[in-house]
Amino acid sequence: MSKTYKRVLLKISGESLCKPGSFGIDSDELKVIATEIVKAAKVGAQLAVVVGGGNIIRGATLAQEGAIVQATADQMGMLGTVMNGLALKEMLEQLGQQARVLSAINLSAVAETFIRGRAIRHLEKGRVVIFVAGTGNPFFTTDSAASLRAAEIGADVLLKATKVDGIYDKDPMKHDDAKKFEHLSFKNAIDKDLKVMDLTAFDMCRKRNIPIVVFNMKETNHIAEVVAGQNHGTTVTVD
Ligand code: UDP
């Protein structure tokens, strides 16, 4: 029997806010993902979102060009996630869902600074909390931020919304015979060298016993259904 989670951390990539293969923020895509998040919030779970920034800047990629050192490029990447979070909040509120943006970097004129207790208070009041600026530190990813915030707010689950509908034994975009896993243990995923999230993020979830569900974000109603405890994609748990 499915059971609704009580408190959920949803990780969406920056790419979910733009058309496939392009950059920046596309209003139509923004509305699609915001609509799905509103449906998920209506299921009744407390919902926090970590938004990525790959649609604007990826620090490591920019640094490779040689002009900007990675520590700075990563700060720029984190600021990109702030723009995404502001866009998402705006759209959620237009759709009637209260939301707050909490930033890991102090930007007091545009967003609240992340304070754990404040984030939990917002969640208890039914607001969608959007965590931006990643962990606030260069050389990390927003996947790491997602696992960190999930642990801090005591989330029951980390939902990783991606372009594919779960974890496969090989890249399903390249191999027709790729097989999807319904369920995996953390150990199995490591042994099979499956790329679920970056290892820092993955290890945090493993140690804190936070299950991860990897599923397709663009399938209508899937975010809400996963929040309601239905099985979509692949679930990674301790056993
Ligand atoms: N970033 C960072 N520290 C963090 C989170 C993100 O430096 O804690 C930077 C990093 O440059 C990264 C960029 O922000 O490339 C965008 O985040 P990410 O690549 O995780 O976004 P996504 O792939 O989820 O869209």
What confidence score (pLDDT) does residue 163 get? Answer: 85
DSSP string for 101-159:
EEESS--TTTSEEP-HHHHHHHHHTTPEEEEESTTSSTT--HHHHHHHHHHHHT-SEEE
Question: Which residue in this structure is represented by tokens 């930033």?
Answer: 103
- Kind plus residue range of the DSSP H or E element containing 47: strand 46-51
Q: What is the pLDDT of residue 164?
A: 87
Residue pLDDT tens, the chain, 239 long: 567 899 999 999 999 999 998 999 999 999 999 999 999 999 999 999 999 999 999 999 999 999 999 999 999 999 999 999 999 999 999 999 999 999 999 999 999 999 999 999 999 999 999 999 999 999 999 999 999 999 999 999 999 998 889 999 988 889 999 999 999 999 999 888 888 788 899 999 999 999 999 999 889 999 999 999 999 999 999 98
CA of 176 to the centre of ligand 1 (A): 31
The helix/strand/coil state of 16 is helix
How far apart CA 7 and CA 124 sit, in angstroms, is: 10
Residue 196 pLDDT: 79
Residue nearest to atom 13 of ligand 1 (CA): 77
Using DSSP, state whether 179 is helix, strand or coil: coil
Torsions phi, psi of 5, nearest 5?
-70, 155
3-state secondary structure of 215: strand
Phi (first) and psi of residue 195, to 5 degrees: -85, 95
Q: Going by CA atoms, what residue is nearest to atom 21 of ligand 1?
A: 52
pLDDT at 2: 64
Q: pTM for this structure?
A: 0.97
Which is the closest atom of ligand 1 to the Cα of 144?
A: 8
pLDDT of 225:
95
- At residue 182, the 3 state secondary structure works out as coil
If phi > 0 it is left, if psi is from -120 to 50 it is alpha, else beta; for residue 193 that is left
Identify which of 72, 78, 79 to mutate to test ligand 1's pocket (most ligand atoms within 8 A of the CB). Answer: 78
| Secondary element (H or E) of residue 34 | helix 27-42
Ligand 1 shell residues, CB under 6 Å = 13-15, 52-54, 58-60, 74, 77-78, 80-81, 134-135, 137-138, 140-145
Mind listing the domains of the chain with CATH numbers? 7-141+148-162+225-232 (3.40.1160.10)
Residue nearest ligand 1's atom 6 by CA: 141
